[in-house]
């Protein structure tokens, strides 16, 4: 894909470490209608979204300190939290 220097690159803030990064460098999570937080692989799902670095430390912080709950305005179920923590185990410790 061709990109010109003047093209606007959308940026988002990681809800855990608060670093501003290019949107495509972050993982989007979205709250579904039944109050479940899901990973939005393509970043296109409708609904309230939150962004996290692809880093284990950010995910653990967001999940353990209820930052994700707050950002998505939901109350995470324990199994939902567990699923996301398991996903984060595949991520790098630091990026």
Span of 9-17, 33-41, 62-70, 81-89 interacting with Zn ion by CB under 5 A: 9-17
Q: Do 82 and 36 form a contact (C-beta atoms < 8 A)?
A: no
Q: Mask: binding to Zn ion, 47-66, rule CB under 5 A, as x and -? A: ------x----x--------
Say how far apart CA 15 and CA 53 lie, in whole Å: 9
Rule CB under 5 A: is residue 17 a binding residue for Zn ion? yes
List of residues contacting Zn ion (CB under 5 A) = 14, 16-17, 53, 58
């Amino acid at each position: 894909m061709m990109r010109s220097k003047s093209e606007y690159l959308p940026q988002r803030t990681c809800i855990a470490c608060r670093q501003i990064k290019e949107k495509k460098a972050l993982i989007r999570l979205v709250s579904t209608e039944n109050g479940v937080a899901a990973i939005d692989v393509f970043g296109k799902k409708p609904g309230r979204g939150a962004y996290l670095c692809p880093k284990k430390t950010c995910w653990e912080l967001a999940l353990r300190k209820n930052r994700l709950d707050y950002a998505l305005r939901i109350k995470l179920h324990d199994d939902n939290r567990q699923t996301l923590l398991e996903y984060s185990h595949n991520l790098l410790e630091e990026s």
